[in-house]
Structure 1
Amino acid sequence: MIGLAELLAQVPAVPEAEVTLWIERRWLRAEQAPGGGWVFTEMDVARCRLLAELRITLELEEEVMPLVLSLLDQLYDARRTVKALLAALDQQPDEVRQAVLAAARRETG
């Protein structure tokens, strides 16, 4: 976990006021530290970089951000699910893996 100063050092293109706004809008999920202030995980840092890319570099409007973030979150969730399924499939006997892969090929055409 890192503090706000460390986050700003890692994502220097983003002003502190913008980070605060993103937290208020729940676009960035930070935790309140016991002594006050915000603390961030590595996932928060990655999300801050994504937000900077969307808002600052690509200049996406505030109105579209909730939709874009929702779609990206769904995509990341789907990727995590597929990764977990592939890991579980990898632990199965070869005949089970082959049967599942064949069924998947039939489903996807």
Structure 2
Amino acid sequence: MSIDEQTVVSRVDRVSINELRIWVRAGWVRPAHGETGPLFDEIDIARIRLLSEMKEDMRLSNKALAVILPLLDRLHQTRRELRVLAEALQEQPEDVRKMVASCVYDKIGNPKDANADQQAPTLPKVKSGDEV
């Protein structure tokens, strides 16, 4: 679904056309380009809401947003990549999954051995009841 600027402003509280255009010029929101102007989709709307919340609720400046947004984008990209890696790992035979888990634990430590106040990274479950 393609949504024009006016509809975006009416759907997202505390966002003006001017602010929206600034965010588009800055590259923080990347709408499609239609014959009558930018066209936004639901993902754009979610990002606009996030920007609005960070700016209004958290009182972040445009300078701060310029630093934070690339970090958030990279975090989300890394999570997507890890999800794909975990899915690929789950498709491997059990012995391969155990070997990979063992190699990772050798490098980062076993979460079972971590202190209660520290959260250790975890790997996808091999199978319920199997020990790694």
TM tier, smaller: 0.7 to 0.9
**Residue 22 of structure 2: SS of its match in structure 1?**
helix
Give the structure 1 partner of residue 83 of structure 2.
83
Query: What is the aligned residue count?
Result: 108
**Identity percentage of aligned residues:** 31
Higher helix share: 1
Q: Which digits, 9 at most, give the CA deviation of each residue in 1:18-71, with x for residues without a partner?
A: 1111101111111111x2221122221221111111111111011121111111
**Residue 52 of structure 2: SS of its match in structure 1?**
helix
Q: Which has the higher contact order (CA 8 A, sep 6+)?
A: 1
Could you list the runs of 5+ residues in structure 1 that have no partner in the other structure?
Answer: none
Give the structure 2 partner of residue 15 of structure 1.
16
Give the structure 2 partner of residue 44 of structure 1.
44
TM-score by length of 2: 0.74
Measure how far apart 1:10 and its partner are.
3.3
Please give the alpha-carbon distance, in whole angstroms, between the structure 1 residues aligned to 2:79 and 2:14.
Answer: 28
Residues 3, 41 of structure 2: 8 Å contact kept = no
Larger radius of gyration: 2
Residues 3, 37 of structure 1: 8 Å contact kept = no
Matches within 5 A, 1:96-107: 96-107=96-107
Please give the alpha-carbon distance, in whole angstroms, between the structure 2 residues aligned to 1:13 and 1:101.
Answer: 47
Give the structure 1 partner of residue 3 of structure 2.
3
Runs of 4+ aligned structure 1 residues displaced above 2 Å come to 4-10
Give the structure 2 partner of residue 108 of structure 1.
108
**Residue 23 of structure 1: SS of its match in structure 2?**
helix
Give the structure 2 partner of residue 92 of structure 1.
92
**Residue 2 of structure 1: SS of its match in structure 2?**
coil
